[in-house]
């Protein structure tokens, strides 16, 4: 979909004329014409058809279901009661997506006749409050049910107090509203429309039970819509029966690029490529060494800000720990005018909301760019305006997320660029993406000097070592940064082993030492993945402590001397005091005289798991064996007078005591069975711990 063919006619061409105030809101949003997905979906939804919609990111899927929902509720003959729901939007589990859809519904409903707009609210919360305080509107405000904002009991109370006809939420909270606290209160018999947004993820096994319970609870006489940018044929068709769609209409908006071939004076236009990304999006890939990835990332940002005049970026990393770490490291290599924002799943919902709002509202120019560092929590559905460039520091574990990441730019006909950094064997990922109809164009690594550097050069980029020194010098100022670096490195390696395209992303082909350089590690962590790694050229960083015992010098890392880790301090005084206290306790324990040396078998028990089940099992096996020996001996010696113990091992001594113990254990076992004693008492009596 390009700028020239991204529209499919004016809204007036719809078979059903839109309500005037709905049309006014659409015009105020700047959507003078429909996109192809809207022109195809809205008439079907309005004609009581179930739909399965697949269209590239940024193509207008949200309005394709928001408008039919509103029109259906407006055209109802009877008004819904306060405990009845007319439409349900089940959103992918990320709460930011549900909040975004909720804000769109709020925008429309706040514009219905009879509502005052004199004060022009400055936020969606104020818009909602204005709507609730109006005298009373014909259609109540929508209800948002997501975790952390309210409790399930408050969700039920809010529904009853506002009389919301439209509910938007994540699967877990919707299930709680309909089948938990609100089971006997909330009425879904009048439900008109169900929408599953980002349906390919909602239909994953992780949500199967929740979605199935919700669908069984809803009335069969409803309209259902499945929307996604990556709803492949296999994904949709295999699940249609399960989700209860009835004779659905499938809407697939394809993007094709055309090549003009000249033959004499005639020109022939021939479609040569089908894409799952907007035609206005330029996708690039760059192959470099793992140790060079951070340098190449910074050079791409510099290239985009200077030559392309880009100002708003999103950079995707593999894990939350990587985002957290590079958020503190990247300022060392970017201009001081750059604004960085961090967004990942380990942040609290309120923090994520504030971060998104700050990034969206930030005033940025090519000289003062804004960069959002994120995981895939910001990959799907989020409508972040004016994003010029998407950079993928690490390819996503799930290949489906690739197009969703790229789709944060080049939205609604705008142009945009997306980059992905690959290393070594990962070049095969380009062919894999081509098969998934996502074409990528190669760009050579950006050189450090005027000399052209290509991926085939044997020499590592000369700026790698200086950059490592810069990172290490920063890390040495605070031991907490070293902890973050190690955690980020370990999380990256483990995420790498979970790639779905495992035949491309193979850990044995990854230069783990080069990755460690990129992270600026002071020392390699102890982990099984590094057992067979080639450590040539790697030296742990020396910690040279100054006389003040507070300033650390990281250069030049050329000699191997004992690391002064005992003096390597946390910048936070409380955390440092705790570390010193624990180190002192360990020193005291190490100075105590050693206890009696254990045998190898005893040491094996000491090193065993904390659970006592293993030792208890051994004791029970021994007692069982003795009991069996006694049974066999008594049987063989039944007719002999005055028999001695089994195997004549003792004369009324140790073995007789064992027999008495066995008899006593049987008596205690009977008491345990009757409930006269507890299991803990029985184990304490007969287990040698």
pLDDT in tens, 235-278: 545 665 566 788 888 888 877 665 555 544 444 444 455 677 77
> What is the mean pLDDT of the segment spanning 320-333?
97
Domains 11-116+128-254 and 275-452 in one fold? yes
**Cα separation values, 456 from 290, 431, 452, 527, 537, Å:** 14, 19, 11, 31, 20
Give the mean model confidence (pLDDT) for residues 477-504: 94
Give strand pairing partners of 441: 284
pLDDT score recorded for residue 659: 61
CA distances from 9 to 6, 138, 413, 637 (A): 10, 31, 15, 103
Confidence (pLDDT) at 558:
30
Cα separation, 616 vs 613, whole angstroms: 5
pLDDT of 359 higher than 60: yes
Of the candidates 451, 467, 570, 567, the one whose C-alpha atom is nearest the C-alpha of residue 514 is: 467
* CB contact at 8 A, 139 and 111: no
582-622: pLDDT as tens digits: 888 888 877 766 665 656 655 555 555 544 445 566 677 77
Count of alpha carbons within 13 Å of 301, Cβ hemisphere only?
A: 30
Mean pLDDT of the chain, nearest integer: 80
- Pick from 195, 10, 23: nearest CA to 108: 23
Among 11-20, 252-261, 625-634, the minimum mean pLDDT is found in 252-261
Q: What is the per-residue pLDDT across 550-588, written as a single tens digit (0 to 9) for each?
A: 333 333 333 333 457 888 999 999 999 999 998 888 888
pLDDT of 686: 60
* Residue carrying the six token digits 């940024």: 58
The residue count of the chain comes to: 689
**Helix 20-28 with 95-109: angle, nearest 10 deg:** 120
Token digits for 10?
């004016």
Provide the CATH topology of domain 11-116+128-254. Answer: Rossmann fold (3.40.50)
Tell me the pairing of strands 312-316 and 370-374.
parallel
pLDDT attached to residue 38:
93
Highest-pLDDT range among 50-64, 268-282, 533-547, 652-666: 50-64
What is the residue extent of each domain of the chain?
11-116+128-254, 275-452, 465-586, 613-636+644-686
Mention every residue, 6+ apart, whose C-beta is less than 8 A from residue 46.
14, 15, 16, 68, 71, 72
| Residue 168 DSSP code | E
Distance CA 144, CA 95 (A): 10
Confidence grade of residue 673 (pLDDT, cut at 50, 70, 90)? confident
Condensed to tens digits (0 to 9), the pLDDT of residues 281-307 reads 899 999 999 999 999 999 999 999 999
Nearest to 139 by CA among 173, 120, 117, 111: 111
Give the separation between CA 279 and CA 255, rounded to whole angstroms.
7
The CA distance from 153 to 165, in Å, is 18
What is the model's pLDDT at position 2?
38
Structural fold of domain 275-452: Rossmann fold (3.40.50)
- Look up residue 394 and give its DSSP letter: S
Contacts of 446 (CB under 8 A, 6+ apart): 296, 299, 300, 303, 453
Whether residue 198 is predicted with pLDDT greater than 90 in this model: the reply is no
Q: What is the percentage of the chain residues whose pLDDT exceeds 90? A: 44
Q: How far apart are CA 320 and CA 488, in angstroms?
A: 8
CA dihedral 212, 213, 218, 224 (to 10 degrees): -20
pLDDT-based confidence at residue 6 (cuts at 50, 70, 90): low
Label residue 202 by pLDDT band (50, 70, 90). Answer: confident
SS3 assignment, position 527: coil
Question: Rounded to the nearest 5°, which phi and psi values hold at 670?
Answer: -65, -40
Exposure b/e, 300-328, CB count within 10 A at least 16 = b: bbeebbeeeebbbbbbbbbbbbbbbbbbb
Distinct helix (H) and strand (E) counts, the chain: 24, 18
Per residue in 416-448, pLDDT (tens digit) is: 999 999 999 999 999 999 988 889 999 999 987
When mean pLDDT is compared across 297-301, 377-381, 505-509, 592-596, the lowest value belongs to 592-596
- Binned at pLDDT 50, 70 and 90, residue 530 comes out as confident
């Amino acid at each position: 979909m390009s700028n020239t063919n991204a529209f499919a006619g004016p809204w007036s061409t719809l078979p059903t004329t839109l309500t005037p105030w709905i049309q006014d809101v659409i015009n105020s949003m700047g959507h003078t014409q429909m996109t192809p997905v809207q022109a195809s979906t809205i008439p079907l939804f309005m004609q009581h058809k179930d739909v399965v919609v697949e269209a590239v990111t940024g193509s207008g899927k949200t309005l394709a279901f928001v408008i039919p929902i509103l029109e259906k509720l407006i055209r109802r003959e009877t008004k819904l009661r306060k405990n009845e729901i007319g439409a349900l939007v089940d959103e992918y589990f990320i709460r930011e997506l549900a909040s975004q859809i909720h804000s769109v519904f709020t925008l429309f409903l706040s514009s219905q006749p009879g509502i005052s707009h004199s004060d022009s609210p400055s936020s969606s919360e104020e818009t909602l409050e204005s709507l609730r305080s109006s005298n009373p509107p014909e259609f109540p405000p929508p209800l948002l049910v997501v975790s952390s904002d309210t409790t399930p009991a408050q969700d039920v109370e809010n529904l009853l107090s506002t009389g919301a006809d439209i509910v938007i939420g994540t699967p877990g909270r919707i299930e709680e509203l309909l089948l938990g606290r609100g089971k006997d209160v909330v009425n879904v018999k009048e439900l008109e429309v169900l929408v599953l947004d980002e349906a390919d993820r909602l239909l994953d096994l992780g949500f199967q039970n929740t979605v199935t319970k919700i669908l069984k609870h809803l009335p069969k006489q409803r309209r259902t819509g499945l929307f996604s940018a990556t709803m492949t044929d296999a994904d949709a068709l295999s699940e249609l029966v399960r989700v209860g769609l009835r004779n659905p209409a499938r809407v697939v908006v394809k993007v094709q690029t055309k090549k003009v071939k000249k033959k004499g004076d005639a020109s022939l236009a021939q479609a040569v490529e089908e894409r799952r990304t907007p035609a206005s999006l330029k996708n690039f890939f760059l192959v470099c060494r793992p140790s060079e990835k951070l340098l190449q990332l910074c050079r791409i940002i510099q290239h985009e800000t200077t030559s392309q005049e880009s100002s708003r970026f999103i950079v995707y990393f593999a894990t939350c720990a990587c985002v957290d770490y590079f958020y503190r490291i990247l300022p060392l290599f970017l201009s001081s005018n750059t604004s960085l924002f961090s967004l990942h799943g380990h942040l609290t919902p309120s923090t994520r909301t504030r971060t998104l709002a700050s990034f969206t509202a930030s005033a940025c120019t090519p000289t003062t760019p804004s960069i959002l560092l994120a995981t895939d929590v910001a990959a799907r559905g989020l409508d972040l305006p004016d994003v010029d460039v998407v950079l993928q520091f690490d390819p996503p574990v799930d290949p489906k997320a690739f197009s969703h990441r790229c789709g944060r730019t080049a939205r609604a006909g705008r142009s945009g660029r997306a980059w992905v950094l690959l290393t070594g064997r990962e070049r095969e990922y380009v062919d894999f993406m081509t098969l998934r109809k996502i074409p990528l164009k190669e760009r050579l690594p950006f050189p450090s000097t005027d000399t052209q550097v290509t991926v085939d050069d044997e020499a590592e980029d000369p700026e790698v070592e200086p950059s490592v020194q810069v990172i290490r010098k920063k890390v040495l100022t605070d031991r907490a940064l070293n902890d973050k670096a190690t955690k980020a490195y370990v999380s990256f390696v483990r995420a790498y082993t979970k790639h779905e395209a495992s035949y491309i992303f193979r850990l044995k082909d990854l230069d783990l030492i080069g990755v460690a350089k990129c992270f600026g590690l002071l020392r390699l962590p102890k982990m099984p993945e590094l057992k067979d790694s080639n450590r040539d050229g790697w030296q742990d960083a020396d910690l040279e402590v100054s006389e003040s015992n507070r300033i650390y010098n990281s250069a030049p890392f050329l000699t191997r001397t004992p690391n002064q880790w005992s003096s390597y301090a946390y910048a936070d005084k409380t955390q440092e005091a705790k570390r010193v206290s624990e180190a002192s306790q360990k020193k005291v324990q190490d100075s105590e005289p050693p206890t009696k040396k254990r045998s190898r078998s005893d040491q094996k028990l000491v090193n065993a798991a904390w659970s006592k089940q293993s030792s208890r099992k051994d004791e029970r096996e021994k007692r069982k064996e003795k009991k069996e020996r006694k049974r066999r001996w008594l049987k063989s010696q039944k007719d002999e007078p005055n028999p001695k113990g089994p195997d004549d091992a003792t004369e009324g001594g140790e073995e007789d005591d064992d027999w008495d113990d066995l008899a006593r254990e049987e008596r205690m076992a009977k008491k345990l069975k009757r409930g006269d004693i507890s299991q803990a008492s029985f184990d304490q009596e007969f287990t040698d711990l």
